[in-house]
Amino acid sequence: MNRWALLLGLCVALAGCGRGEDEIVASSVAHRFLTSVSNDNGDVACSLLSRETAAALAHDEREPCEETVRGLELNAPSAERVQVFGLSAKVDLADGLSVFLELTPEGWRVSAAGCEPVAGDQPYECEVEA
Amino acid sequence: MKRFLRDNGLSVAFGVLFLGTLIAQAFVGLADFNAGQIAHHGDPISLWRYVRSSEFGVDVLENWQSEYLQFSLFIFGTVWLLQRGSPESKELDKAGRESDSDQKLRDHADPDSPKWAKVGGLRTWLFSNSLLLVMGAIWVASWLGQSITGHVAYNAERFDHQQAAVSLSQYLGSPDFWNRTLQNWQSEFLAVGSMAVLSIYLRQRGSPESKPVGAPHGATGVEG
């Protein structure tokens, strides 16, 4: 029993055990965000954005976040790959676009969405970002 | 207790210093990390979350690996490499692995020599190289740990900037990995090299890392 407790402690200490769960939750948050945008549900969509991204969206468009997200043209295709590194995650979607997320005290939140890869090592071009 | 501390003062003192500085590093590392989070409009994290993070892991392990590499190379190099006048060097006619007699092996072992020095075969070979093998294994393990935690921390930062992740093999060829590695290696090699040379001409009375104060500068393989 003690040996298993030690192994579990080591596993938690090395932060390897929760990664699969993080991938599921990050993917779920990305999907809920995109579905909310597709359904014009601004309240839910904005609640799934990181504070910085929600504020940037409202600031850029000079409208409340809830109004701004209704104008976004984002679909909610299935996730093809989820990668989690530390407090950051990326969900690659079937339409070739990606969603970036960050882990906040409230859980995983979208920091950028509608992101398209750019040639070279440049940052993705995103429809929503901070 | 008093006798235990006297007999083990060196290991106890450095063990306490290690734990104290590791804990201090965790606190100041957290403060630094959270300052970065706030600067990027992110959320501060807890101490427990930070000490489990790859950012803390890579900062710790990149230093561990270089220290163990330093001592491993020093143990290995001083078998053959000499430095006239340095207490860190063997005497000038003793380069190499030395004879069984010099090393008190097999038939030349003393009655109180460790058993594996007497028995011969694989066990004696293993015991004869055990210090380098263990120190080298810790170096490899901590360098591997640095590469894994560094890979995670590097990709987390790339995601923060909306860049694609890199594979572990790509990370092992990245400037980030080699910058972390080489900045530690160069400082270790400088410290060892300068210690070997400075100890030719300088002394610390009472320290076995120095020659006796009155020993001539040319005396080699003499410890104070």
How many separate domains does chain A show? Answer: 1
Q: Let me know if residue A75 belongs to a domain.
A: yes
- Most A CBs within 10 A among B43, B151, B174, hence the mutation to make, goes to B43
Ramachandran class of B106: left when φ > 0, alpha when ψ lies in -120 to 50, beta otherwise: left
A105 contact residues in B (CB cutoff 8 A):
43
Could you give the count of Cα atoms lying within 13 Å of B39 in the half-sphere of its Cβ?
A: 7
d(CA A5, CA B173): 37
With a cut of 70, which residues of chain A have pLDDT below it? 1-18
| Cβ-based contacts under 8 A for chains A and B | 67
pLDDT at B40: 82
d(CA B2, CA B7): 9
pTM: 0.90
Q: Does A88 reach chain B within 8 Å, measured CB to CB?
A: yes
Structure tokens belonging to residue A27: 């993917």
Structure tokens belonging to residue A119: 């040639």
Range of the domain at A73: 23-129
The full DSSP string for A40-94 is T-HHHHHHTB-HHHHHHHHHHHTS-HHHHGGG-----PPEEEEEEETTEEEEEET
Contact call for residues A30 and A99 (beta carbons, < 8 A): yes
Length of chain B counted residue by residue: 224
Q: Let me know if residue A11 belongs to a domain.
A: no
Residue B130's pLDDT band (cuts 50, 70, 90): very high
Dump pLDDT digits (tens) for B93-103: 999 999 999 99
- Chain B 156-185, CB below 8 Å of chain A: which residues? 156-165
Q: Which residue in the set B155, B156, B162 is minimally distant from A129, CB to CB?
A: B162
CATH number of the domain at A73, please: 3.10.450
State the average pLDDT over residues B160-177.
97
Q: Does B52 reach chain A within 8 Å, measured CB to CB?
A: yes
pLDDT at B42: 83
* B158 → chain A, closest CA residue: A123
CB-based contact A85 B156, cutoff 8 Å: yes
Q: Let me know if residue A78 belongs to a domain.
A: yes
* Chain B closest-CA separation from residue A54 CA (Å): 12
State the average pLDDT over residues B169-189.
98
* Chain B closest-CA separation from residue A2 CA (Å): 22
* A90 → chain B, closest CA residue: B159
pLDDT at A2: 58
pLDDT at B66 over 90: yes
Dump pLDDT digits (tens) for B32-42: 999 998 888 88
Q: Does B59 reach chain A within 8 Å, measured CB to CB?
A: no
The three-state secondary structure class of B88 is coil
The full DSSP string for A88-99 is EEEEEETTS-EE
Q: Model ipTM?
A: 0.86
Q: Which residue in the set A14, A105, A124 is minimally distant from B43, CB to CB?
A: A105
Q: Let me know if residue A5 belongs to a domain.
A: no
Dump pLDDT digits (tens) for B70-97: 999 999 999 999 999 999 999 999 999 9
